[in-house]
Amino acid sequence: MPDAPAGTERRGFLKLLAGAFAALAAALATVPVLGTVVTPLMKPKADDGGLLRAAGLGELVEGVPKRVELTSVLVDGWTRSVGIIGAVWLLKKPDGSITAMSSVCPHSGCSINQKSKSTYGCPCHDSTFELDGKASEGPSPRPMDTLEVQVKDKDVFVKYRRFKIGVPEKTEIG
Ligand code: FES
């Protein structure tokens, strides 16, 4: 049997090599696609489990409550967005420490406002709270809910949590 011409062998080898490169390129192209599809499934629904920046230290005036809305990155399936997850009342005390209390009324969940220089009030059923959160009037079954605060450099961070409403005990629900 006669040998194949040298050019035919070379062409076959080059075709094989081109096919191998094409297969490798196709395999590499699927890596980012797989990452996009699989990554959201492995992430928590919202990454608000930690501390959220609430304000700069310089924004707080001693004895004057400041309401701030906390934002966090929300993950819903493959959609990521930044949204407001809740509001808190910050207060700088005479010793320089900072307290944070949820703006959610423990009675039925309405949003607590500042009522006077020294009190907060809930517009729904007229509960009144002292600046330290103690319930002084109205149907609220407990004080305003306190939240963990940390000051790092010149920023105030709050660990936002939600609590069961309508009960005397402060019970975290998420
Ligand atoms: S919800 Fe606040 S007093 Fe009822």
Report the CATH number at residue 75: 2.102.10.10
Let me know if residue 29 belongs to a domain: yes
Quote the ligand 1 centre to 121 CA distance (angstroms): 9
Q: Kindly report the pTM of this predicted structure.
A: 0.72
Let me know if residue 63 belongs to a domain: yes
Quote the ligand 1 centre to 97 CA distance (angstroms): 28
Taking CA atoms only, the protein residue closest to ligand 1 atom 3 is 125
pLDDT at position 75: 80
Q: Are strands 128-130 and 135-137 parallel, antiparallel or unpaired?
A: antiparallel
Let me know if residue 115 belongs to a domain: yes
Name 45's Cβ contacts closer than 8 Å, sequence gap at least 6. Answer: 74, 75, 76
- In a shared domain, residues 70 and 109: yes
Please tell me the total count of domains within the chain.
Answer: 2
Which residue ranges have their beta carbon within 6 Å of ligand 1?
A: 105, 107-108, 110, 122, 124-125, 127, 138-140
Report the residue among 103, 113, 129, 140 best suited for mutation to probe ligand 1: largest number of ligand atoms under 8 A from its CB.
140
Let me know if residue 173 belongs to a domain: no
Choice among 80-84, 103-107, 125-129 with the minimum mean pLDDT = 80-84
Let me know if residue 171 belongs to a domain: no
For the CA atoms of the chain, what is the radius of gyration?
29
- In a shared domain, residues 29 and 57: no
* Separation of alpha carbons 78 and 32, rounded Å: 14
Name the nearest CA neighbour of 43 among 2, 76, 16.
76
Choice between 88 and 12, residue whose per-residue pLDDT is larger: 88
The domain of 16 spans 1-42
pLDDT at position 9: 75
Quote the ligand 1 centre to 32 CA distance (angstroms): 50
User: Is residue 58 within a helix (H) or strand (E), and if so which, with residue range?
Assistant: none
